[in-house]
Amino acid sequence: MDTAEVMRRFNAAFQNHDPALLDDLVAEDCAIENTDGTRHEGKAACLTLWRGIAGNKDAWFDLEDTVIVGDRAIIYWHYHWGEGADDSVRGVNLMHVRDGRIVEARGYVKGK
């Protein structure tokens, strides 16, 4: 899979609340630097984090854009956990794909 296809499938997991779509997308040596600064290393740890987010039907992402540049991608999103003005945050994920698998993800959120 090329980077664009990996990102299409990755985004679909969150848009459709279908964590199973993530299983074939994550490399054994994947590392995530989460929006809160925590680091998750290894496929199992990364899948645990992302499955929990993707499977949460009480929250949702508005996917704003995905930009692909070679083996890198930028995902722009708006995350909601309620209907109120203070119940959402905008952010980006900086992604790195190698051999059809995600090897790195860094998440950043916009301050209010």
pTM of the complete model:
0.94
Phi, psi of 44 (to 5 degrees): -60, -45
Reduce the DSSP state of residue 70 to 3 states and report it: coil
Reduce the DSSP state of residue 79 to 3 states and report it: strand
- Amino acid letter for position 11: N
Domains of the chain: 3-109 (3.10.450.50)
Burial of 75 (0-12, 13-18, 19+ CB in 10 A): buried
First to last CA, the chain: 37
62-106 pLDDT tens trace = 999 999 999 999 999 999 999 988 999 999 999 999 999 999 999
Laid out side by side, the sheet with 26-33 consists of 39-41, 26-33, 101-109, 88-98, 72-80, 60-69
Instruction: Inform me whether the pLDDT recorded for 111 exceeds 90.
Output: no
Tell me how long the chain is.
112
